[in-house]
Structure 1
């Protein structure tokens, strides 16, 4: 026990405890994502640091109330966020997959734990049921690549309902039997109480919910408090029935599933409260129980961790393989099913933590589970990302249709000196006879003399408006009051139905503080790309566009499978014609075929040549062919999408380094926005850049070796 300025460690005072925990919730995910550690694992590691087995800063049990609330909240959201409509559509196939992904891990896991690891019966049953559950951590990747409606994905999501419900039933038996034997009286008592409790929740909660939402209207706070109360009421009913409270919370989520639309403001508030407060508190409380020093005391803990992880991965793959053979799915569909169902996170932590608190399992299994969660989440995300790209190619017999029919351009104004060049670029990309509207957006913070600043800003934009009028383009000044530039742009894109955003290339921060801030929290451009899914052009102009001699268009592999492909092709070809510049397209053979097909479809005549380019990362070899008056357009992509590759992270810096005197444009096509079925999952959690980088390096090495062999053969 140590003293610091009157404070005694570990802390008992709730105020400093809250300060420490809240700053952990704020900073731990941001810092650890830079190390590619998922935020779920990051918060657990932070809990380990401040707990009894770390620096002993916080008293064990001091955040139990919030931790318990977070545990119930996780299971409530697991039931609330399940897509019951998709489950009903493919319920029979979902039941088949749910059966295999539950029974196979449960049975093989029990054999492993009971006969090889020599756990007792209850511990073996609990750990093997943990193998059966899964968390849809990688679902946002499937959503972002546009395969969320593929049957392999929908039955995997539906199978989650089956396996999670079955696992919780086993947990009810385990917890109910702790105080008694598994005799006939136990089964009758547990069966009757569980049936009564289930009917009360599944039948009573929807009835009460409909009545409440019908009578109490337009009171957002009351609606949230009502839902929150129902979560804990369901947990209380479960404990009265002799089972764990998380079962009641899960059933409460299922009961209210149809009453709370997934896109409603109420759902947004429910998820916000969980992600911001309750679930992080729960994950930190789990970390405070973990002692990774046990792993260093001997081989037993490492053997348990490795064995459990291998069993968790292999049994989920077997379940996906059998389902593939029954329904005759492709290998890509099988791998997508495996990738989605192999991740263990929220429900796994809940089940294992209850077993640890009831002393069914020891600290070896608890520590091994943390390692299992980290490995399976990484493997699941990696497999889903790679198999999803192959599935997109299998499904895409033609270029996908454009989604955004409305054509409107938005130019965020940062530097008035660049406004005219950005406006000229927007006007020259218009391929239609009808002039499309262009909005000049200024984002300001709410402060004193705001009205005067808005008037002054509009006056400064009068020059740009007159400049647009000279080309018969309707230019309109728009002012948004928001917290920052990125949020203002996101809201303006939604409100004005924008199809294209034209942004100025951001300057590098000149100060050390600015560089650190941007590296941790992201630049404005990065934050805009994370929230705006329409076509975005990031431009750096050194000279007028009409002086362009040639346009070098560099396309990444799979660019033709993005939903915005048609749209930006039309824009770039129009720019080529307006600027009077010929175009050289550098791409793979498949992408060239799609690009040429799009030109034939639109019946556009343009001076275009093609340069075969299999490895887009090496496009810098073109430097000797590029002159200072050439415009370089590099088609990039957002993380996790079909055409995304890891080298895109360094593409902006390479362009600036090697083509400092050229006009440069980074083009981000319109892509599908991610949908999230699992709470607490952030986009950054799904990026496996270090692993992908090494695979890309191996592929590059392999291609280099093949080229050397070909040369020798010649």
Structure 2
């Protein structure tokens, strides 16, 4: 017994040295970090760093070197190895995801913006670091060059607003390629100077080796890759291994050429850019494995280096952190302003450029880590950079979202943003949750279903107990049969589907994709327990995992008791993809029930609704009520009465018309209107364009409200 206790004590002695236990702990961090921090919407990139700080050598000291003896023998530590892979992975994906076609279209303007967003932050940053903060020449140049980099973490916001083809967005993407490449070359030169290798021989060797490196990467690698992908077509695993081999071979070549290994990974991404489509299975594997393992490992390792106690040892660390953040924001804002004047862009486009180029993340971390490992910068700069990343990501999110809305209001949205579902190809999916509430939902689906569609109503039951899958599948089938019998009474054809999945939201998402559903019709969300509140409620998970139109219904009273349909339409709802779809369905419902419609909206949305009514040739009796203060949802109560069927148009987090006041709308209206029929509408959105958990820079409502003044600084108007 004593031996067992001693063994247990040794296993959990800090810092942990058992590689299996360390790896398990890191995996738990990767798993739990997004879940724990989701309620306050802390950016994922910061979440992993924070856990690294808490559990690292300067925190609880749970994580440190895994096996010191192995490190002494090989010079390689497992955490260092995985974090290096993660760093290379970040730079590789940065190169891989750049849109080279957009860069070609606007290369001249991109070049000017790239120059401005490179030279202005450096021109401000160098004197501040050299004279104000008192750093020597090389550290000042390194930190100043870090200000010039940026990561397009807010690009998904722009895409969700349908303005990705706007010229301001295109030149920002092109400028990213140029400025990040220039900074990485400067990094190689600084490293050479620091090692005392600068001279005519250094420049000659660097020039020749760099030329050879570029020839191999852009002359040979794409041809080899093209041959490999075409000849080994069926071996999908081999494709991924080949890509990894190219990344690490490129990183090694860069080091041989006297450059930094992250330059090699970035160039590998550019070299393979046109050979790996963004929506391909290979790209999905690359991003999935990177986001699941390697990139979080790198971010956690960065946190392990951070010493928070430095911030408490005096004002110096706080001054450095504040100064770095201020210079980073100011430099990018001035660069965006100069670009605005050069190309006569609007104020909204200026803010769009600033929002996209202000976020510092991947490249910034890469540069600072190289500088820290080379002993060029101290802990104050490292800690200050973490603060800088947090604030610039939040500011970039606020400004990009505000500017995107204004650009949409100015009419600069991409074409074909609103989808049209042909009635003869419509598919509706109805997941079963509570059998007692399903009959009115089936009635509603029958009323709005297109009579031209040959497809039946698809009724889904998700079985979550995998071990008892077949047994529970039989039970689910019995429930489905009851619904089929009810539907047959209205001569409505139904298709019964049973999906086995550990997760209800996952089962619904899979079934929706398999049948190409245009619309989901669900019951009203029920009360949730503590675990669901922390991990994420089913309704929220379903919204996050699906992109199609979704109707959430609470239909406790017969439709015959309703005398009016009141539809609450928030600002910019007309810019959502599913706008035309839900309008058609609500007009069809109105015709079936012979009820007039009252739209509650602002003036701009009213014009769009009137245009859509004309387009759809509607003869429904409709009226409009004006409401402008959509940040106060409770003010809508004055437009409803007890005889109304209330329909609230909402949107998913990150969509064009989304706003803070729509958070938890189902719960609030459900409590307020306890005796009325309610329908909550979530329009469809573009597929797979919501922000990944690890790159989620959407701030929590409380943070957004506190920082509204930041938005006001950049001309944010109430929409």
- Fold-level similarity (TM above 0.5): yes
- Residue 717 of structure 2 corresponds to which residue in structure 1? none
- Residue 42 of structure 1 corresponds to which residue in structure 2? 47
TM-score (norm 1): 0.92
CA 1:234–1:455: 2 relative to 1, 3 Å = same
CA 1:91–1:654: 2 relative to 1, 3 Å = same
CA distance in 2, matches of 1:451, 1:368: 56
- Residue 170 of structure 2 corresponds to which residue in structure 1? 154
Q: 1:15 aligns with which of 20, 27, 30?
A: 20
* Alignment of 1:417 onto 2:431: no
CA contact (8 A) 1:563 1:671 kept: yes
CA distance in 2, matches of 1:583, 1:111: 64
Write out aligned runs for 1:576-655 (5 A).
576-621=590-635, 623=637, 626-655=640-669
- Residue 332 of structure 2 corresponds to which residue in structure 1? 316
CA contact (8 A) 1:640 1:687 kept: no
Shift of 1:163: 1.0
* Alignment of 1:499 onto 2:528: no
CA 1:102–1:628: 2 relative to 1, 3 Å = same
Write out aligned runs for 1:136-151 (5 A).
136-151=152-167
- Residue 184 of structure 1 corresponds to which residue in structure 2? 200
Shift of 1:362: 0.8
Q: CA-to-partner distance for each residue in 1:331-375, whole Å, 9 max, x for gaps?
A: 111101100000000110010000000001111111110000001
CA distance in 1, matches of 2:58, 2:8: 20
CA contact (8 A) 2:36 2:535 kept: no
- Residue 393 of structure 1 corresponds to which residue in structure 2? 409
* Alignment of 1:693 onto 2:705: yes
CA distance in 2, matches of 1:617, 1:118: 47
CA distance in 1, matches of 2:90, 2:709: 39
- Residue 660 of structure 1 corresponds to which residue in structure 2? 674
* Alignment of 1:562 onto 2:579: no
* Alignment of 1:355 onto 2:371: yes
Q: CA RMSD in A?
A: 2.5
- Provide the aligned length of Structure 1 versus Structure 2: 692
- Residue 708 of structure 1 corresponds to which residue in structure 2? none
> SS of the counterpart of 1:563?
coil
Q: 1:346 aligns with which of 354, 362, 366?
A: 362
- Residue 6 of structure 1 corresponds to which residue in structure 2? 10
CA contact (8 A) 2:519 2:551 kept: yes
- Residue 29 of structure 2 corresponds to which residue in structure 1? 24
Q: 2:218 aligns with which of 202, 209, 232?
A: 202
CA contact (8 A) 2:40 2:699 kept: no
> SS of the counterpart of 1:270?
helix
CA contact (8 A) 2:461 2:480 kept: no
Shift of 1:278: 0.7
CA distance in 2, matches of 1:62, 1:56: 17
Shift of 1:458: 3.5
TM-score (norm 2): 0.91
Shift of 1:649: 1.0
CA distance in 1, matches of 2:243, 2:137: 38
CA contact (8 A) 2:577 2:684 kept: yes
CA 1:76–1:396: 2 relative to 1, 3 Å = closer
- Residue 91 of structure 2 corresponds to which residue in structure 1? 75
CA distance in 1, matches of 2:632, 2:325: 38
CA distance in 2, matches of 1:157, 1:446: 46
- Structure 1 stretch displaced more, 687-696 or 301-310: 687-696
CA 1:57–1:460: 2 relative to 1, 3 Å = closer
CA contact (8 A) 1:144 1:674 kept: no
Segments of structure 1 that go 5 or more residues without pairing to the other structure are: 510-514, 700-714
CA 1:58–1:619: 2 relative to 1, 3 Å = closer
* Alignment of 1:51 onto 2:56: yes
- Residue 704 of structure 1 corresponds to which residue in structure 2? none
Shift of 1:11: 1.7
Shift of 1:399: 10
Segments of structure 2 that go 5 or more residues without pairing to the other structure are: 1-5, 66-76, 712-719
- Structure 1 stretch displaced more, 337-346 or 51-60: 51-60
Q: CA-to-partner distance for each residue in 1:291-333, whole Å, 9 max, x for gaps?
A: 1211111111111111111111111111111111222211111
Q: 2:400 aligns with which of 384, 392, 399?
A: 384
CA contact (8 A) 1:551 1:632 kept: yes
CA distance in 1, matches of 2:522, 2:260: 53
Shift of 1:577: 2.0
Write out aligned runs for 1:672-687 (5 A).
672-673=686-687, 675=689, 681-683=694-696, 685-687=697-699
> SS of the counterpart of 1:9?
coil
CA 1:127–1:674: 2 relative to 1, 3 Å = farther
> SS of the counterpart of 1:288?
helix
CA distance in 2, matches of 1:362, 1:619: 49
CA contact (8 A) 1:139 1:675 kept: no
Q: CA-to-partner distance for each residue in 1:660-704, whole Å, 9 max, x for gaps?
A: 11111111112234537x987444x323422333477999xxxxx
CA 1:118–1:447: 2 relative to 1, 3 Å = closer
**Which structure 1 residue ranges, 4+ long, deviate > 6 Å from structure 2?**
695-699
